[in-house]
Amino acid sequence: MRRVLFMTVTLALVGCNDDVHFEPVAASGETLCVADFQQCVNPIFDAVISGRSGQATCAASGCHDVGAGSGGAFKIFPGAQPDSPEMMANFFAAKGFANLNDPDQSKVLLEPLQGAFSVSGTHTGGDIFPATTDACYGAIRQWISVRVDDAEGTSCGFCAPIDIGNCGY
**What are the domain boundaries of the chain?**
1-169
Per-residue confidence in pLDDT tens, the chain, 169 aa: 223 222 322 222 223 334 444 444 444 678 999 999 999 999 999 988 765 656 678 888 888 999 887 778 899 999 999 999 999 999 999 999 999 999 999 999 998 888 765 555 567 778 888 899 999 999 999 999 998 999 988 888 889 888 888 888 6
What is the number of other CB atoms lying within 10 angstroms of the CB of residue 120? 12
Q: If we measure between CA atoms, which residue out of 147, 78, 68 comes closest to residue 106? A: 147
What is the number of other CB atoms lying within 10 angstroms of the CB of residue 55? 12
- pTM, two decimals, is 0.77
Residue length, the chain? 169
Task: Specify whether the backbone of 90 is left (phi greater than 0), alpha (psi in -120 to 50) or beta.
Answer: alpha
pLDDT, one tens digit per residue, over 114-153 is 876 555 556 777 888 889 999 999 999 999 999 899 998 8
What are residue 113's phi and psi, to 5 degrees? -80, 130
